[in-house]
Amino acid sequence: MGLPPHHRAKSELSGAAGNTTRPRPETAGRTGGWLLGVAIVLAAVNLRPAVASVGPVLDDIRLDLGLSGAAASVLTALPILCFGAGALVAPRLARRFSSEITLVAVFAATTVGLVLRLGPDAVTLFAGTFLAGAAIAVANVLIPAMVKREFASRTGLMMGLYVGVTVVGASVAAAIAVPAAEALGGQWRAGLGVWALPAALAFAVWVAVTASRRRRSVPDDRTTDAPTSLLGDPVAWQVTVFMGLQSLGFYALLSWLPSVYRSYGISPEVAGQLLSLMIILGVPTALLFPSLLTRSAQQSGWALAATALIGAGLLGLLLAPSASPYVWATLIGIGMGAAFPLALTLVVLRTRDVHDAAQLSTMSQSVGYVLAAAGPFVFGLLHDLSHGWMLPVGFLLVLLVPQTIAGL
């Protein structure tokens, strides 16, 4: 990331130099292209609510089910671990069944997983979280590669839309978790279960997309392989480390920020709103950044600015959490809102075609999300050990150093 212009050719992956896969002609101008666009947007809506809806009601879940701090940390880390492990399976599924058919199965499994979380005990909660997380992991890999394949001349625009809608879905999930629970009988399960409805809608639309493309005899792209050829590529590791560390910080706060604020006397509703604010501020940057990045010869300045904003917000949260909570949430939100699309867009910028994009997407998300899963778990563990929030917030501040280095 951020190599000078005369090094731009070297910034692309070297491990796939022999690949000759040609991208599929763009679908935007074909009949049914609008349906694929709608399907991608609906997919994006469903990528984060399974995770984002838990944080605002985590204290209620712990109280109701008697979960320890360690168990709660596992619950918050589980879907992110699934994101990493499931990303390794995605290429094989796409190669065998096609991306479209795989995504039909993905949103069927997501719907079932979210419904399963409505069960009466911790077993169904963890099982549903695992199933939904594993399914979403596959979509995390396939959608960016599909954007590159199907919208080759509008990659920046479509990636901006995809990332922006993903952020909106997460923000809305965080904002309505507590109000939905209160409106539907005061049960935390309502705040989680409501998201089975958009997942079911996404399933229906992807069924329609698959049927439409089969009727039009659109050839499947099944060239995706496991990313073994990238393991020795420094650029691939650079993207992967940046993806992992920015995700680690995001998911740690996504899971625990409401608990931090509630411990300082802020109401559950306001704590959920602060988390939603942190997330929603990523929408404008998500919409603008991919297009800006695709026109920029360097990305190091953007990465440095993003980590500086995150650091300022975390420092405020560390030293004066209740003094200006909206300011800290704003700074963190803008910084993380820039880092996330930067990480995703680099997957596209640093590859030559859909084959390379899928490989780098698989590597950065499988390795990166396994690293990110440590965020919620370690954050909660440090809180249990220290009986406070200074140590876990300080942990996130320290990790900004290697994140910044990876972005240079």
Under the banding of pLDDT at 50, 70 and 90, the label for residue 313 is very high
Rg over CA atoms, the chain: 20
Share of the chain above pLDDT 90, in %: 35
CATH label of the domain that carries residue 129: 1.20.1250.20
Residue 229: its pLDDT value, please? 66
Residue 178 domain-assigned? yes
The pTM of this model reads 0.76
Residue 15: its pLDDT value, please? 46
Q: E-strand spans in 79-208? A: none
Residue 46: its pLDDT value, please? 96
- How many domains does the chain contain in total? 1
Q: What tens digit of pLDDT does each residue of 335-389 get? A: 998 887 788 777 777 666 667 777 787 788 788 888 888 899 899 899 988 989 9
Residue 343 domain-assigned? yes
CA separation for the pair 182, 180 (Å, rounded): 5
CA separation for the pair 146, 134 (Å, rounded): 19
User: Helices 354-386 & 122-150, crossing angle to 10 degrees?
Assistant: 150
Q: What is the mean pLDDT of the chain?
A: 82
Q: What tens digit of pLDDT does each residue of 83-126 get? A: 878 777 888 898 889 999 999 999 999 999 999 998 989 999 99
Using CA atoms, how far residue 396 sits from 148, 313, 320, 368, 375, in Å, is 33, 11, 16, 16, 8
Residue 8: its pLDDT value, please? 39
Instruction: Calculate ∠ Cα 199-113-184, nearest 5°.
Output: 70
Of 164-168, 318-322, 344-348, the range with the lowest mean pLDDT is 344-348
DSSP3 helix / strand / coil % (the chain, rounded to 5): 80, 0, 20
Residue 5 domain-assigned? no
pLDDT of 16 > 50? The answer is: no
Residue 86 domain-assigned? yes
Residue 10 domain-assigned? no
Q: What is the residue range of 277's domain? A: 26-406
Q: Which residues are within 8 A (CB) of 311 and not within 5 positions of it... i.e. 6 or more apart? A: 335, 397, 400
Residue 368 domain-assigned? yes
H-type helices in 151-281, by residue range? Answer: 155-183, 188-193, 196-215, 234-263, 268-280
Residue 3 domain-assigned? no
Residue 274 domain-assigned? yes
Query: Hey, what are 269's tokens?
Result: 């509703």
pLDDT of 218 > 90? The answer is: no
What number is the average pLDDT over the span 47-71? 90
What are the CB-based long-range contacts (under 8 Å, 24+) for 264-271?
Answer: 264/321, 264/322, 265/322, 266/322, 266/325, 268/56, 268/59, 268/60, 268/178, 269/178, 269/179, 271/56
